[in-house]
Structure 1
Amino acid sequence: MNAPAPSFAPFAPWGTPDTVFDGLEGAWDLDRTIEGQAAMTGTATFTRLETGALKYREEGRIRLADGKEFDGHREYLFERAPGGFAVSFAEQPPRLFHGIVIVRDGDALAGSATHLCTPDTYDSSYRFLGDGSFVIRHTVHGPRKDYLSATTFKRRNA
């Protein structure tokens, strides 16, 4: 008796590595923890530009470990690349942060990259999950920084 063909249903919200980029467009709720240092809740929006790139902007409330709170924001530029996307800092001219090539990884689509921000190193990973959410993790090591930042994104309800 033949085994049933594997089901790729968990990837349905994201499709293939080449379609993940398009799935990012729109509004997301974000929940971030920076191990032992801070937490942030807020929103992230990927807005399509005339060039086809996506402008990423996050805004939210940051709560430090000592209880202090303040508002914060950050921007990046995401550009389509074969099998994934490139992420640049939102500067003029844009400066590459990292390129992500997406592959199937167990029950998710995933990609990773390393960025040297002398003298510190950022090891970043992206996981696109079957429920339509995604997680970005940055593990930062070096003489100036040493932390793990994990952000979960869930599609914002209209």
Structure 2
Amino acid sequence: MTSTDTPEGRIFLSLPGKWALARAIPGTGSVTGVAEFRRLRPDLLLYREEGTLELGTGQTHDVSREYHYLLEDNQIRVCFVEPPEFGRTMHVLRLDGAEATDEHLCDQDLYTGHYRFEGPDRFTVEMRVRGPKKDYSMHTTYDRLPDAPADLL
């Protein structure tokens, strides 16, 4: 396990709790909902989000996703939870100040994630996806929910 006395360790310790999420997907729609980071072990968090996708056509859909956030070797590894990708790394966060960028190749599509931790109660994730099958971007803002009841999700 990694020391929590590193920038990555301090960010990791600040994540547990509930967060309001707002995601813009230009040209497609938006997602609003709630995300939760729940501690499974001292070095492992379960991230779960639930929300509503509103398409530009006005259609809405319930959406959800999960990841594991693992603190190891002075980095935070974001991993897939769902089979068949379980345990596979999506991004590795090695902070430069309060920001980290990493890439993940999924088949022939490249997912570039830029994570910016603006303070203990707000962070953003910019995701750019390019390849033969996909070409889009997403901007997600997370704001900590004050005094949210336990086990909201």
TM-score, normalising length: structure 1: 0.83
Residue 128 of structure 1 contacts residue 134 of structure 1 at CA under 8 Å; is this kept in 2?
Answer: yes
Task: Report deviation, 1:119.
Answer: 1.3
Q: Is residue 2:132 matched to residue 1:147?
A: no
**Aligned residue among 58, 69, 72 for 1:78:** 69
Give the AA of the match of 1:77: H
Q: Structure 2 matches for 1:8-157, cutoff 5 A?
A: 16-50=7-41, 52-91=43-82, 93-104=86-97, 109-130=98-119, 132-157=121-146
Secondary structure of the equivalent of 2:146?
coil
Structural RMSD (CA): 1.6
Q: In 2 relative to 1, CA 85–77 (structure 1 residues): closer, same or farther, beyond 3 Å?
A: same
Whole-Å Cα distance in 2 between the matches of residues 135 and 17 of structure 1? 16
Q: How many residues end up aligned between the 2 structures? A: 140
| Higher mean C-alpha deviation, range 22-31 or range 47-56 | 47-56
Give the AA of the match of 1:102: L
Residue 28 of structure 1 contacts residue 43 of structure 1 at CA under 8 Å; is this kept in 2?
Answer: yes
5+ long unaligned stretches in structure 2: 1-5, 148-153
TM-score, normalising length: structure 2: 0.85
Whole-Å Cα distance in 2 between the matches of residues 131 and 48 of structure 1? 17
Whole-Å Cα distance in 2 between the matches of residues 120 and 114 of structure 1? 10
Task: Report deviation, 1:87.
Answer: 0.4
| Higher mean C-alpha deviation, range 42-51 or range 30-39 | 42-51
Q: Percent identity?
A: 36
Secondary structure of the equivalent of 1:20?
helix
Whole-Å Cα distance in 2 between the matches of residues 56 and 28 of structure 1? 11
Whole-Å Cα distance in 2 between the matches of residues 81 and 127 of structure 1? 19
Secondary structure of the equivalent of 2:13?
helix
Secondary structure of the equivalent of 1:19?
helix
Q: Which has the larger radius of gyration?
A: 1
